[in-house]
């Protein structure tokens, strides 16, 4: 199939790519852009290991045409770390055992990011419902809930500190993820 | 607990950031220049002779570099020395739908897939065997010519006097239990990248490097050497991050060999990654097991005898089969005190993908049967199910009737704690109708005492190197597969050396760099690689201590290694410990003290070495920093390295009877669980609300990981108990997708309360034992027993799907059985479920019955 030139915005950067119109977003991310954090585990949107955010919405990139994402803002797991450090949710997943083999972890973290952007204070039932789009074979999910609770608490105390700091000079630039 | 500074504290895994940022590399994330893609052609028939393979059309396709067939590597291999019955690619015969026939190497996946369609294979279809009990009667068209009756192996053991035991019993029960086939379904599909490098002296392809998703790099190196006929030292196996194994990667999977054979033929690096459907065919999961079990008890609850006849549907190749069938019998012992055991085990070949080792290898299905029957016996003699288990405890240290040595034994405490936490005494039998509690116990080995390859070599060896920068590098062949092996290694090294975790770097599972470790299976890593690490670190510590003692003018015995310092006993400052978090639990503190204190001597010691130190440190002192002590030791000894190895002690290697080598372990873990379930009597649906799981892991080196392993095991057991099942039709897998296989999602997963019990094993590293597998086996019977408590039906076949529960409920009421599959497909067996739309490759399915709706070209319903 003849390749076409597209512009794909991933993690805040624009990439000009020549891809087949039938190329899947996951393959383009992994093979063209070497962003291998998004994983292929099932081929058919069963497991969510390939979850990325497309304009802030969690989508499974293994069944999404890359060409259809032109003009949209794609965020992958590689775009989650903040200023070279772990985001609260990444830190919490490590500390609380939310990740064991880690293969499903990027997908889960993207799903949680999208959940928290929509609902910053989810109930346990909300979390369970949101996570059901992804599968994990190691953890039995229990420690993920603890991680998410802890990340929410950390974010809260962080934003409290940020609002106190705002009067000061050296307030950290706050990246708002709730854009659009 | 205060005696330790690193172990016993919840610790984030040393590779946690790699996993949460996506930076960590799994095999499929790797690429090397000039890398080609391999795709495998699988057999569409369950049993057929290959008359011819014509690859010419495929080879002509632009972009195809090579087509590999069986003749390119006609050597057999298999994980067990007694089971070398597999070819990398079929030579003359295929034995299951999905068997490996040919491999196309091409410049892209799309071209490779296209080329698969162009390979012409002529088959002569043979009668196939799908049911183990039918297969055992076979006299012709055997699956392997050297296995009469399609019997891979059978064992017949009698310990004590079973007949006498049953004669003494007051109550005897006998029943057939069936546990259907399940698979690991690890999230990462198997992947292998193989690359040859050119030998500078001969100018020809020389050394081979293989990156693979494996639990057993050393075994892979060994099997590659057999099939490729290359010396082992010319093969380097590297294990990148592995996305879960559960046993599915604990043996050499066909692609791992095929990729290397393909790279040799294509003269370029080749990567092959399975699709999810191919992962299901690669399988090596837990076999469908038929258990005819008979147990006798006295009125006081004491078990007098057990008799088990176990038939395992092993699939088309041996795999770990001989070990699985032996574990099923051997692990009847070492949990309870059973004086008389009779065991007849049959491992049978059928035309389905081979079964192998899966979490709780061999013990799970028999444990389901045993704990269910024990529950029934308790009811018969009017005894509480928790109490009957307490009446049959071992009195360790002891050697069981079948030759297993038991030392640490936390089972009594496990039962006590689960009973207590679940409110068993107050709630059992008093829950509303349709809701119930069930209890069950289980145990597992902390590594097999006898290696697969019979030899006297140590099972684990670990090297440690410390250089003048004060960095500790641990080299271990142990395979991190997500269970925390690298973290455990780092923790033990740091604990022994009294340094912070951030100093320790673990280099693991690379056969060129790391000493031999036989792999991550049979829950052996903490016990064996942990002990080897402990010994290596202790050896290095001795060297440091000798030099430090000299510097400080004291005896070696007076020194304490703690908090990145070496100090005299008297002058020891108590290192700070983390206060518990607001919820009373210890907060995870990933890397020891928050900011490891760096010695002021760092630059000086590297640049000018000890001269400057000698000048600065006039006279002996009470304390040295870790760096100072290390520099002193290197100056004193010349180099600072240590090595340690572990081989299980002779006393723990089991009885002398045939097959007695499987089952013995240096230590056993113990588990007791209570499950709370509710059953919808209208639909037959079972919901697990909570599981209390107490597990005796000896000592929890990293509580957050131990809890994670307990929860994960219970969860996987729950999957097998309720939903997971490989459904077959004429040798074809009906549900080769993660949704169709029904791996539980967060919605179906219960809360699990892990309860850590520490019995401190005399031989484990810091007393630690297994924690990753033992809990699984108790979950299935705990749920079965809870279902009985809830609605009074005893389920004899797992998984307990709504269909089976409903059938049992209707049978109890003498109502007509509902046939939910009526009218779907005249050829379908009772357990038929519609194929879930997974990626069956085009047009190559097996012959279907003429009335099968899938045969008609047009959609059955026509328009609309």
Q: Is B17 exposed, middle or buried (0-12, 13-18, 19+ CB in 10 A)?
A: buried
Instruction: Write the CA distances from A63 to A22, A68, B169, B191, integer angstroms.
Output: 11, 11, 61, 21
Window from A138-152, B162-176, B582-596, B647-661 with minimum mean pLDDT: B582-596
A136 touching B, CB under 8 A? yes
Instruction: Summarize the confidence of residues B92-104 as an average pLDDT.
Output: 97
Instruction: Summarize the confidence of residues B451-463 as an average pLDDT.
Output: 90
How many CB pairs below 8 A link A and B?
A: 183
Residues of chain B positioned with their CB less than 8 A from the CB of A109: 20
Window from B125-139, B488-502, B823-837 with minimum mean pLDDT: B823-837
- Closest Cα in chain B to A37: B22
Q: Which of A 9-38 lie inside 8 A of B, CB atoms?
A: 30, 35-38
B132 touching A, CB under 8 A? no
Candidates B746, B750, B837, partner chain A, best to mutate (most A CBs within 10 A): B746
Query: Is the CB of A40 less than 8 angstroms away from the CB of B189?
Result: yes
Indicate whether B597 pLDDT > 50: no
Indicate whether A10 pLDDT > 80: yes
The reported pLDDT for the residue numbered B621 is: 79
pLDDT confidence of A122, banded at 50, 70, 90?
A: very high
Closest CA to B29 of B218, B257, B242, B180: B242
Instruction: Summarize the confidence of residues B180-186 as an average pLDDT.
Output: 98
Q: Which of B 235-254 lie inside 8 A of A, CB atoms?
A: 241-246
- State pLDDT tens for residues B294-307: 999 999 999 999 99
Residues of chain B positioned with their CB less than 8 A from the CB of A104: 187, 243
Taking residue B543's Cβ as centre, other Cβ atoms within 10 Å add up to 20
The 3-state DSSP class for residue B143 equals coil
Indicate whether B626 pLDDT > 50: yes
pLDDT confidence of B655, banded at 50, 70, 90?
A: confident
Taking residue B600's Cβ as centre, other Cβ atoms within 10 Å add up to 12
Name the more confident of A161 and B716. Answer: B716
The 3-state DSSP class for residue B730 equals coil
The reported pLDDT for the residue numbered B592 is: 41
pLDDT confidence of B598, banded at 50, 70, 90?
A: very low
pLDDT confidence of B619, banded at 50, 70, 90?
A: low
pLDDT confidence of B613, banded at 50, 70, 90?
A: low
The reported pLDDT for the residue numbered B363 is: 97
Indicate whether B495 pLDDT > 90: yes
Instruction: Summarize the confidence of residues B76-98 as an average pLDDT.
Output: 96
Pairing of strands A57-60, A51-54: antiparallel
pLDDT confidence of A82, banded at 50, 70, 90?
A: confident
Query: Is the CB of B22 less than 8 angstroms away from the CB of A103?
Result: no
φ/ψ (deg, to 5) at B66: -160, 155
Residues of chain B positioned with their CB less than 8 A from the CB of A80: 21
The reported pLDDT for the residue numbered B816 is: 74
Q: pTM here? A: 0.91
Residue B410 contacts residue B759 (beta carbons within 8 Å): yes
Q: Which of B 454-493 lie inside 8 A of A, CB atoms?
A: 481-484
Residue A140 contacts residue A71 (beta carbons within 8 Å): no
Instruction: Summarize the confidence of residues B551-561 as an average pLDDT.
Output: 94
CA angle B142, B143, B145 (to 5 degrees): 60
Beta-ladder partners of B69:
B102
The reported pLDDT for the residue numbered B201 is: 95
pLDDT confidence of B617, banded at 50, 70, 90?
A: low
Indicate whether B521 pLDDT > 80: yes
pLDDT confidence of B151, banded at 50, 70, 90?
A: very high
Indicate whether B591 pLDDT > 70: no
Q: Select the residue of A38, A109, A128 nearest B20 (Cβ to Cβ).
A: A109
pLDDT confidence of A166, banded at 50, 70, 90?
A: low
Between CA B815 and CA B793 the distance in angstroms is: 14
Between CA B774 and CA B758 the distance in angstroms is: 14
Indicate whether B828 pLDDT > 90: no
Side by side, the strands of the sheet bearing A4-10 are A13-19, A4-10, A73-75, A51-54, A57-60
- Closest Cα in chain B to A84: B21
- Residues contacting B91, CB < 8 A, separation 6+: B50, B70, B71, B74
Candidates B15, B19, B37, B39, partner chain A, best to mutate (most A CBs within 10 A): B19
pLDDT confidence of A169, banded at 50, 70, 90?
A: very low
Query: Is the CB of A39 less than 8 angstroms away from the CB of B184?
Result: no
- Residues contacting B450, CB < 8 A, separation 6+: B648, B653, B654, B661, B662, B664
Instruction: Summarize the confidence of residues B685-713 as an average pLDDT.
Output: 98
- State pLDDT tens for residues B658-671: 999 999 999 999 99
Window from B545-554, B584-593, B692-701 with minimum mean pLDDT: B584-593
Query: Is the CB of B29 less than 8 angstroms away from the CB of A30?
Result: yes
Indicate whether B834 pLDDT > 50: no
Percent of chain B, pLDDT > 70?
Answer: 88
The reported pLDDT for the residue numbered B576 is: 41
Query: Quick one: chain A helix, strand, coil %, rounded to 5?
Result: 40, 15, 45
B274: closest CA of chain A, how far (Å): 9
pLDDT confidence of B229, banded at 50, 70, 90?
A: very high
The reported pLDDT for the residue numbered B453 is: 80
Between CA B373 and CA B297 the distance in angstroms is: 11
Name the more confident of B337 and B829. Answer: B337
| Matching residue, tokens 């405890």 | B393
Window from B320-324, B590-594, B692-696, B849-853 with minimum mean pLDDT: B590-594
Between CA B368 and CA B389 the distance in angstroms is: 15
The reported pLDDT for the residue numbered B121 is: 97
Residue B389 contacts residue B439 (beta carbons within 8 Å): yes
Indicate whether B446 pLDDT > 80: yes
Indicate whether B397 pLDDT > 70: yes
B751 touching A, CB under 8 A? yes
Residues of chain A positioned with their CB less than 8 A from the CB of B751: 142
- State pLDDT tens for residues B328-368: 999 999 999 999 999 999 999 999 999 999 999 999 999 99
Query: Is the CB of A76 less than 8 angstroms away from the CB of B20?
Result: no
Instruction: Summarize the confidence of residues B831-852 as an average pLDDT.
Output: 41
The reported pLDDT for the residue numbered B204 is: 93
Beta-ladder partners of B313:
B288, B348
Q: Is B430 exposed, middle or buried (0-12, 13-18, 19+ CB in 10 A)?
A: exposed
Which sign does the torsion angle of CA B472, B477, B478, B479 carry?
positive
Query: Is the CB of A105 less than 8 angstroms away from the CB of B19?
Result: yes
Q: Which two tokens stand for residue A80?
A: 């989650």
Q: Which two tokens stand for residue B473?
A: 């590098």
Query: Is the CB of B244 less than 8 angstroms away from the CB of A35?
Result: no
pLDDT confidence of B546, banded at 50, 70, 90?
A: very high
The reported pLDDT for the residue numbered B845 is: 44
- State pLDDT tens for residues A38-67: 999 998 899 999 999 999 999 999 999 999
Q: Is B813 exposed, middle or buried (0-12, 13-18, 19+ CB in 10 A)?
A: exposed
The reported pLDDT for the residue numbered B64 is: 98
The 3-state DSSP class for residue B791 equals helix
A168: closest CA of chain B, how far (Å): 27
The 3-state DSSP class for residue A111 equals helix
Name the more confident of B50 and A155. Answer: B50
Q: Which of A 47-76 lie inside 8 A of B, CB atoms?
A: 47, 49, 76
Mean pLDDT, all residues of chain B: 91
Between CA B395 and CA B389 the distance in angstroms is: 13
Q: Select the residue of A40, A42, A77 nearest B22 (Cβ to Cβ).
A: A77
The reported pLDDT for the residue numbered B815 is: 76
The reported pLDDT for the residue numbered A159 is: 82
Candidates B22, B487, B705, partner chain A, best to mutate (most A CBs within 10 A): B22
């Amino acid at each position: 199939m003849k390749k076409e030139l597209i512009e794909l915005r991933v993690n805040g950067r624009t990439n000009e790519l020549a891809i087949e119109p039938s190329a899947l977003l996951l393959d383009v991310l992994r093979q063209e852009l070497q962003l291998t954090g998004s994983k292929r585990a099932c081929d058919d949107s069963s497991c969510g290991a390939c979850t990325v955010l497309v304009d802030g919405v969690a989508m499974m990139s293994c069944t999404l045409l890359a060409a259809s994402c032109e003009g949209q803002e794609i965020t992958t797991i590689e775009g989650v770390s903040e200023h070279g450090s772990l985001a609260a949710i990444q830190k919490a997943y490590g500390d609380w055992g939310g990740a064991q083999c880690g293969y499903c972890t990027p997908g889960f973290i993207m799903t949680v990011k999208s959940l928290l952007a929509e609902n910053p204070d989810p109930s346990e039932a909300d979390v369970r419902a949101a996570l059901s789009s992804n599968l994990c074979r190691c953890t039995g999910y229990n420690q993920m809930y603890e991680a998410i609770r802890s990340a929410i608490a950390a974010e809260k105390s962080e934003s409290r500190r940020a609002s106190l700091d705002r009067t000061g000079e050296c307030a950290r630039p706050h990246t708002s993820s709730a854009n659009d | 607990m205060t005696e330790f500074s690193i172990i016993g504290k919840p610790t984030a895994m040393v590779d946690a950031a790699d996993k949460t940022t996506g930076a960590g590399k799994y095999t499929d994330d790797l690429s090397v220049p000039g890398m080609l893609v391999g795709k495998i052609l699988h057999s569409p028939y369950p049993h057929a002779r290959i008359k011819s393979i014509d690859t010419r059309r495929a080879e002509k396709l632009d972009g195809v570099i090579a087509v590999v067939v069986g003749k390119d590597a006609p050597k057999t291999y298999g994980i067990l020395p007694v089971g070398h019955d597999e070819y990398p690619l079929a030579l003359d015969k295929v034995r299951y739908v999905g068997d490996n026939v040919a491999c196309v190497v091409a410049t892209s996946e799309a071209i490779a897939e296209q080329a698969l369609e162009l390979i012409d294979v002529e088959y002569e279809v043979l009668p196939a065997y799908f049911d183990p009990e039918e297969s055992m009667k076979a006299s012709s068209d055997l699956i392997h010519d050297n296995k009469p009756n399609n019997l891979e192996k059978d064992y017949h053991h009698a310990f004590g006097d079973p007949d006498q035991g049953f004669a003494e019993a007051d109550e005897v029960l006998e029943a057939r239990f069936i546990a259907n086939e399940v698979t690991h379904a690890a999230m990462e599909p198997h992947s292998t990248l193989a690359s040859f490098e050119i030998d500078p002296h001969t100018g020809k392809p020389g050394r081979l490097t293989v990156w693979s998703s494996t639990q057993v790099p050393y075994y892979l190196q060994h099997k590659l050497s057999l099939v490729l006929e290359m010396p082992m030292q010319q093969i380097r196996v590297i294990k990148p991050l592995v996305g879960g194994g559960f046993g599915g990667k604990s043996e050499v999977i066909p692609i791992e060999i095929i990729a290397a054979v393909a790279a040799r033929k294509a003269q370029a690096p080749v990567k092959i990654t399975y699709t999810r459907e191919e992962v299901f065919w690669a399988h090596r999961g837990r076999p469908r097991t038929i258990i005819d079990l008979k147990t006798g008890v006295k009125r006081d609850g004491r078990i007098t005898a057990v008799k088990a006849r176990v038939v395992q549907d092993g699939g088309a190749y041996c795999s770990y089969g001989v070990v699985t069938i032996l574990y099923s019998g051997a692990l009847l012992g070492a949990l309870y005190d059973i004086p008389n055991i009779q065991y007849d085990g049959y491992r049978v070949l059928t035309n389905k993908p081979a079964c192998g080792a899966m979490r709780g290898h061999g013990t799970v299905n028999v444990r389901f049967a045993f704990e269910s029957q024990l529950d029934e016996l308790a009811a018969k003699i009017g005894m509480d199910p928790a109490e009957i288990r307490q009446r049959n405890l071992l009195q360790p240290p002891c050697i069981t009737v079948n030759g297993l040595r038991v030392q640490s034994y936390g089972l009594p405490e496990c039962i006590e704690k689960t009973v207590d936490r679940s409110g068993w005494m107050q709630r059992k039998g008093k829950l509303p109708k349709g809701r119930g509690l069930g209890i069950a116990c289980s145990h597992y080995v902390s590594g097999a005492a006898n290696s697969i390859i019979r030899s006297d070599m140590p099972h684990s060896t670990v090297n440690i190197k410390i250089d003048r920068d004060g960095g500790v590098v641990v080299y271990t062949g142990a395979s991190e597969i997500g269970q925390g092996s690298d973290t455990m290694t780092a923790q033990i090294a740091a604990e022994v050396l009294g340094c912070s975790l951030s100093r320790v770097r673990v280099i693991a599972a690379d056969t060129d760099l790391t000493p031999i470790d036989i792999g991550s299976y049979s829950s052996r890593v903490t016990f064996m690689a942990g002990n080897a690490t402990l010994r290596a670190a202790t050896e290095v510590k001795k060297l440091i201590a000798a030099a430090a003692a000299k510097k400080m003018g004291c005896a070696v015995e007076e020194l304490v290694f703690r908090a990145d310092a070496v100090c005299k006993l008297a002058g020891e400052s108590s290192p700070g410990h983390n206060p518990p978090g607001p919820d009373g639990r210890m907060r995870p503190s990933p890397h020891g003290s928050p900011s490891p204190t760096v010695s002021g001597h760092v630059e000086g010691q590297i640049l000018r070495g000890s001269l400057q130190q000698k000048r600065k440190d006039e006279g002996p002192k009470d304390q040295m920093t870790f760096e100072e002590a290390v520099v002193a030791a290197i100056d004193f000894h010349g180099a600072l390295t240590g090595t340690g190895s572990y081989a299980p002690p002779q006393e723990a290697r089991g009885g002398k009877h045939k097959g007695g080598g499987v089952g013995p372990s240096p230590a056993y873990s113990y588990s007791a669980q209570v499950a709370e379930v509710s059953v919808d009597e209208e639909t037959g649906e079972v919901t697990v609300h909570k599981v209390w799981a107490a597990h005796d892991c000896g000592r929890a080196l990293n509580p957050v990981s131990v809890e994670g392993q307990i929860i994960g095991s219970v969860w996987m057991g729950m999957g097998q108990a309720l939903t997971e099942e490989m459904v077959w039709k004429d040798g074809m897998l009906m549900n080769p997708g993660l949704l169709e296989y029904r791996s539980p999602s967060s919605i179906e997963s219960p809360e699990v309360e892990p309860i850590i019990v520490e019995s401190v094993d005399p031989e484990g590293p810091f007393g630690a034992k297994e924690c990753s597998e033992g809990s699984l086996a108790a979950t299935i019977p705990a749920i079965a027993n809870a279902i009985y408590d809830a609605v009074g039906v005893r389920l004899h076949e797992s998984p307990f799907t709504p269909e089976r529960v409903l059938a049992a409920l209707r049978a109890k009421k003498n109502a007509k059985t509902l046939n939910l599959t009526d009218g779907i497909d005249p050829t379908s067996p009772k357990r038929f479920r519609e194929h879930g739309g997974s990626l069956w490759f085009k047009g190559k399915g097996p012959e279907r019955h003429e009335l099968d709706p899938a045969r008609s070209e047009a959609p059955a319903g026509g328009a609309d």
